[in-house]
């Protein structure tokens, strides 16, 4: 096996492979990437046994073949090498990597390609196409709200489903819930509801362009995703996703509206002295004003008053400040509205004017 390639083009692809690989042991085949050189094309594959990645790039192949190399060290070699052409060749169980611009020769041990797990090809899979920009927006509006509790594994992914011509994504950790729906499912055939792991969603967010479409298929407990030169697949999470519709309030009696930028800035300042283990921040709402108060700790306390549109009785609500700060980043309107009935019941956070996205927050105890 022997081929040469452009260093910068290869770095881009191996960086994505690194996102997939989680096992850092150099003796594990899952820490390696599979390289297949044929017809002046290099196919690169990576897998962590649940999520897979495949891409192809043009290279100059002098001798066709297959091998696997330890991904992290291969990336380190590429990163330390100058821009330009690099030669790659295999000798028995070793690969030789030589940047042509430097008098240096790297020798890296390899593992035979037949040890690499089989990656299923997405053949005869019922793909549907959706706007890349729209689906990335849906992911960004939900992915941060998934649970990190491994014992509640069915909540560690984003619920993805279709209703009529509407695609829906929902995420919850049991104390908050993010919901987004977009009417971008026209012509999309029904597919089984899926709980999609965060890793493959993060890959889409990071690597897909905002232009054009993304191809998606949900079938046989797997999700397949294609865009550009890239193909990803992932096992879906098993289990019953919570009945999120029961959490969404049908009607709420009160609401207040604040400027998004004002609230974001006030959050950053008032949480400087907050107890990060508790993350509790008090929201005191009164006619015309919202006061953010960090409860007193050994370090001190902070309070800031910002204008708000509200004409009800004064009320104080305790919230995990992250449950407000994180959805603020994905709200793209000038103002944000909070709807509530009483201090200890679910609060709805949404953009103003209302759009296809909202966030539900369960309040904390005041003390």
Q: Examine the pLDDT at 24 and tell me if it is beyond 80.
A: no
- Assess contact for 197 and 50: CB atoms under 8 A: yes
Residue 85: closest CA among 122, 58, 55: 58
Residue 28 pLDDT level (bands cut at 50, 70, 90): confident
Task: Enter the pTM of the model.
Answer: 0.93
Per DSSP (E only), the strands in 153-279 are 157-163, 166-172, 176-182, 194-197, 213-219, 222-227, 230-235, 254-259
Q: Tell me what the mean pLDDT of segment 172-182 comes to.
A: 97
Mean pLDDT of 43-49: 94
**pLDDT grade, residue 27 (50/70/90)?**
low
Q: What's the pLDDT tens digit per position in 113-138?
A: 999 988 877 788 899 999 999 999 99
pLDDT exceeds cutoff 70 at 23: no
Task: Kindly report, residue by residue over 179-219, the tens digit of the pLDDT.
Answer: 999 999 998 999 999 999 999 999 999 999 999 999 999 99
Digit-coded pLDDT (tens) for 256-309:
999 999 999 999 999 999 988 899 999 999 999 999 999 998 889 999 999 999
Is the separation of the CB atoms in 247 and 177 below 8 Å?
yes
Note the pLDDT tens digit of each residue in 336-345: 999 999 989 9
Q: Tell me: pLDDT of 9 over 70.
A: yes
Q: What is the pLDDT of residue 92?
A: 85
What are residue 306's DSSP bridge partners?
290
For 52-98, how does the pLDDT look when each residue is reduced to its tens digit (9 = 90+)?
999 999 999 999 999 999 999 999 999 999 999 999 999 888 999 99
Query: What is the residue-averaged pLDDT of the chain?
Result: 94
Strands 94-99, 32-38: pairing is unpaired
User: Burial letters for 83-100: b for 16+ Cβ neighbours within 10 Å, e otherwise?
Assistant: eeebbbbbeeeebebbbe
Q: What's the CA angle centered on 41, arms 52 and 86, to 5 degrees?
A: 100
């Amino acid at each position: 096996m022997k081929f040469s390639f452009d260093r910068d083009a290869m770095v881009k692809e191996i960086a994505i492979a690194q996102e997939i690989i989680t096992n850092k042991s150099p003796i594990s085949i899952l820490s390696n990437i599979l390289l297949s050189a044929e017809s002046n094309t290099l196919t690169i594959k990576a897998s962590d046994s649940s999520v897979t990645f495949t891409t192809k790039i043009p290279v100059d192949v002098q001798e066709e073949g297959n091998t696997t190399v330890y991904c992290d060290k291969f990336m380190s070699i590429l990163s330390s090498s100058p821009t330009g052409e690099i030669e790659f060749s295999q000798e028995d169980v070793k690969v030789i990597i030589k940047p042509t611009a430097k008098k240096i020769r790297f020798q890296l041990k390899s593992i035979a390609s037949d040890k690499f797990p089989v990656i299923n090809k997405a053949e005869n899979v019922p793909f549907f196409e959706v706007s890349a920009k729209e689906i990335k927006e849906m992911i960004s509006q939900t992915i941060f709200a998934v649970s990190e509790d491994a014992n509640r594994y069915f909540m560690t992914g984003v619920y993805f489903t279709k209703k009529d011509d509407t695609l829906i994504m929902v995420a919850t950790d049991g104390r908050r819930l993010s919901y987004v729906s977009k009417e971008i499912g026209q012509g999309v055939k029904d597919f089984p509801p899926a709980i999609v792991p965060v890793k493959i969603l993060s890959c889409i967010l990071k690597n897909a362009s905002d232009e054009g479409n993304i191809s998606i298929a949900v079938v046989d407990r797997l999700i397949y995703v294609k865009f550009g030169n890239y193909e990803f697949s992932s096992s879906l999470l098993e289990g019953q996703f919570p009945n999120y519709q029961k959490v969404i309030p049908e009607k709420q009696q009160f609401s207040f509206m604040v400027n998004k930028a004002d609230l974001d800035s006030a959050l950053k300042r008032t949480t400087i002295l907050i107890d990060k283990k508790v993350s509790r921040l008090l929201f005191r709402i009164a006619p015309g004003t919202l006061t953010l108060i960090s409860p007193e700790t050994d370090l001190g306390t902070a309070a800031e008053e910002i204008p708000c549109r509200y004409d009800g009785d004064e009320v104080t609500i305790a919230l995990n400040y992250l449950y407000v700060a994180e959805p603020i980043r994905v709200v793209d309107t000038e103002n944000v509205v909070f709807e509530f009935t009483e201090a200890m019941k679910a609060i709805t956070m949404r953009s103003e004017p209302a759009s296809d996205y909202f966030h539900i927050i369960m309040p904390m105890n005041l003390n």
